[in-house]
Chains A and B, each alone.
Chain A
Amino acid sequence: MTTTTIMLSLPDRRRMVGVAVPFIAVAGSLAIGLLLVAASGKSVPEAIEAFLDGAFGTAYAIGASINRAVALALVGLGFILAFRANLTNVGGEGQIAVGGIVATAIGLWTPISDLPLGLAVVLPLLGGTLAGALWGGIAGVMKVRFGTNEVISTLLLGFIALLLVYWCVQSTTLLRQPQTSSATLPESLPIADAVKLPGLTGSPESPLHIGLVICLLLAGVTAVVLQRSTFGLRLRAIGLNELAARRAGMPGGILLVVALALAGAFGGLAGAIMLQGEQYYLKAGFSSGYGFDGLVVGLLSRGSTVGVLAGALFFGFLRSGGISMEIMAGVPAALTLVIQGLIVIAVAGSVILVERLERGGR
């Protein structure tokens, strides 16, 4: 035994390994990313400069990156809630999509823009959240009633939701804008100003919106629920040993459905926030990979709320920087996908190693 192992108590060591692995994976993947930039014959300093400029360079860049992080963090929070019950929600993408559809529908079909007290903003957000909860809940019910693996069902539901968006923006009876000419794009009309999320800074230069406040509040609630509530404890119990938890009198089925519905609700809210805060109209492919990125964020956090926020910020800035790198330095933004993929594979592959280190074995 080395001195460090004696000095550090076991929980400390555990935490260190748990934090170190994502950091090593991220650093290694970023290094490979830079090597790829160099290998493709582009200037590395130029690429880094373009990246930093796009991520942190202006108030606009920072605001846009944080807005991206908000959507990712919400999906990630939902992921760790369900994951506490040992449920893997792969359907974030679809939950964002249904959230966006319902928020758009409420914004465009109902006369809510005249409502007082900010209801014009809140009702579509709630609608999107409920839609996501329903979408996640379906997977929960299928799991409990038919024993369907939630990974398969949430994935399939995800594709169905993406095609629902496509359907909605293709059909004028649904959400497509009135077709005045053959050049009318398959998109919805933009939502009214009253439905858009209010800005946070008051300055027109920053797109930062109140989604950040909602996200931070929910992160706090999630942390408390997971760590200090009976519900959180029950989720963990059912995740560790479903049979034992049921024997102990816990309503296993209901817990599983609620866990997946909650995960879906977070995804649906993320979709509504993306629509009301940034995009303002519905179009095919509107969820643009945020669901899968959010899953990655949840996975890297290893169940910690702070980890989700940190990961979401990282990926939010990574996305913004990647886009700027493509525009300014000619390095394809697909590079950020390579980095993300490598991180996921490295973290998933090192699980056994981490477990071995945590147990203190060699």
Chain B
Amino acid sequence: MEETLAIFIASTLRLGMPLMLAASGELVSERAGVLNLSLEGMMLTAAFFGALGSWATGNPYLGVGCAVLASLCVAAVQAWLSVDLRANQLVVGIGFNILALGATTLLYRVIFGGLSREEIPGLPKLAVDGLSNLPFAGTAFFQQSVIVYFGLALMVLIWVILNHTSFGLAVRAVGDEPLSADKAGIPVARTRRLAVLVAGAMAGLAGAFISIADIHTFTENMTNGAGYLALAAVIFGGWNIGRTIAACLLFGAATALQFQLPAMGIVVPTAFLLMLPYLLALLAVAGVVGRLEPPTALTLPFRRGK
């Protein structure tokens, strides 16, 4: 029983990780007023270029670098379109998701040929000396890949930046009151562009986690809606970093349960467990779990003098 629980915690952490990475970055962008529906596309792009980089160089760390860089490129265009050209952020996001699915599938077929599932050099699991052998916590917490610990550190960093620095204050200001922020001399457009890039970098890590750290190969559409789940987590978390990460863990747990419950002899329809995150997010946006306050200027482009 204890062993099962430890494995359950470990797989919750593993399945929740890409969500936590992507959602914490997206949170910064949404607090600044830009919603990236393209999160899914950024993650898929990153997963592909991460796998490609790792395969081509033989070095998984360079792969992670490629993933983040590729995702940043998508984010830069997204930022230009939604901040400078004031395009409809949602429509642009959908466009990017279609494009990313098409482009990665196309490139994958052309470069790797057919449907090969060649294994790529993956990130090692970091077995922390002395901790990974602990009877319960060892299995549950300390046999994860490097990216997990790095990602957790980044989340703490995001929390600090968002709540305790002047840049964090600027982010929240341009997301809630862009007009006043502008009058107070905060560069609205630049702050928003930076916030989108933060989302891009974190989505890049999330994509790299999926292909390089977790699955060790690329498959077509391998993110399979994880980006949308991350968006749902931000909503369910009420645009608060702690609650967003808790939401990601909850969604990860729901996914982990579909493997765990049958092993324990409990029959719950898989579809229901998969649906749970979206249902919870839907209840959350309906205000069932308490009043949610999205950033006031979320998805609204800003233009001086208007």
Number of interface residues of B (CB under 8 A): 43
Provide the B77-116 mask, 1 if CB < 8 A to any CB of A, else 0: 1000100011110111011111111110110011000000
CB distance from B215 to the nearest CB of A (A): 20
**Contacts A337-B99, A340-B98, A345-B96 hold; do A160 and B287 have CB atoms under 8 A apart?**
no
B279 near A160 with CB under 8 A, answer yes
CB distance from B1 to the nearest CB of A (A): 28
Q: Is the interface of B mostly helix, strand, loop or mixed?
A: helix
A19 interfacial by beta-carbon distance below 8 Å:
no
A40 near B106 with CB under 8 A, answer yes
B5 interfacial by beta-carbon distance below 8 Å:
no
A352 near B102 with CB under 8 A, answer no
Residues of chain A within 8 A of B101, CB atoms compared = 334, 337, 341
A166 near B271 with CB under 8 A, answer yes
B285 interfacial by beta-carbon distance below 8 Å:
yes
A206 interfacial by beta-carbon distance below 8 Å:
no
**Contacts A166-B274, A171-B269 hold; do A153 and B282 have CB atoms under 8 A apart?**
yes
CB distance from A328 to the nearest CB of B (A): 15
A349 interfacial by beta-carbon distance below 8 Å:
yes
Closest to B220 in A: A334
A23 interfacial by beta-carbon distance below 8 Å:
no
A160 near B278 with CB under 8 A, answer yes
Residues of chain A within 8 A of B270, CB atoms compared = 166, 170
Number of interface residues of A (CB under 8 A): 47
Provide the B20-45 mask, 1 if CB < 8 A to any CB of A, else 0: 00000000000000000100000000
**Contacts A148-B286, A334-B109 hold; do A348 and B272 have CB atoms under 8 A apart?**
no
CB distance from B222 to the nearest CB of A (A): 14
A349 near B81 with CB under 8 A, answer yes
B269 near A170 with CB under 8 A, answer yes
B225 near A159 with CB under 8 A, answer yes
Residues of chain B within 8 A of A159, CB atoms compared = 225, 228, 275, 278
**Contacts A160-B279, A332-B109 hold; do A167 and B272 have CB atoms under 8 A apart?**
yes
CB distance from A193 to the nearest CB of B (A): 30
Expressed in whole angstroms, the Cα–Cα distance for A246 and B131 within the complex equals 64
Provide the A302-328 mask, 1 if CB < 8 A to any CB of B, else 0: 000000000000000000000000000
A90 near B90 with CB under 8 A, answer yes
Expressed in whole angstroms, the Cα–Cα distance for A339 and B102 within the complex equals 8
Closest to B275 in A: A163
Residues of chain B within 8 A of A341, CB atoms compared = 95-103
Closest to A289 in B: B98
B99 near A338 with CB under 8 A, answer yes
CB distance from B249 to the nearest CB of A (A): 19
CB distance from A22 to the nearest CB of B (A): 13
**Contacts A340-B102, A341-B99 hold; do A170 and B228 have CB atoms under 8 A apart?**
no
Residues of chain B within 8 A of A36, CB atoms compared = 106
Known: A292-B98, A335-B106, A348-B88. 19 other contacts (CB 8 A): A40-B110, A41-B110, A142-B286, A148-B285, A148-B287, A151-B299, A153-B285, A156-B278, A157-B282, A159-B225, A160-B275, A334-B109, A337-B101, A338-B103, A340-B99, A345-B95, A351-B85, A352-B86, A353-B85
**Those 7 A-B pairs whose CB atoms lie nearest each other, nearest first:** A341-B99, A337-B102, A344-B95, A167-B271, A334-B105, A341-B98, A338-B102
> Which residues of B are in contact with A by a Cβ distance under 8 Å?
37, 77, 81, 85-88, 90-92, 94-103, 105-106, 109-110, 225, 228, 232, 235, 269-272, 274-275, 278-279, 281-282, 285-287, 294, 299
> Which residues of A are in contact with B by a Cβ distance under 8 Å?
36, 40-41, 88, 90, 142, 145-146, 148-149, 151-153, 155-157, 159-160, 163-164, 166-167, 170-171, 292, 295-296, 299, 332, 334-345, 348-353
Q: List 17 A-B contacts (CB under 8 A).
A: A40-B110, A41-B110, A152-B285, A159-B225, A159-B228, A163-B278, A166-B270, A170-B269, A292-B98, A299-B91, A334-B101, A334-B109, A340-B102, A341-B98, A344-B94, A345-B81, A345-B92
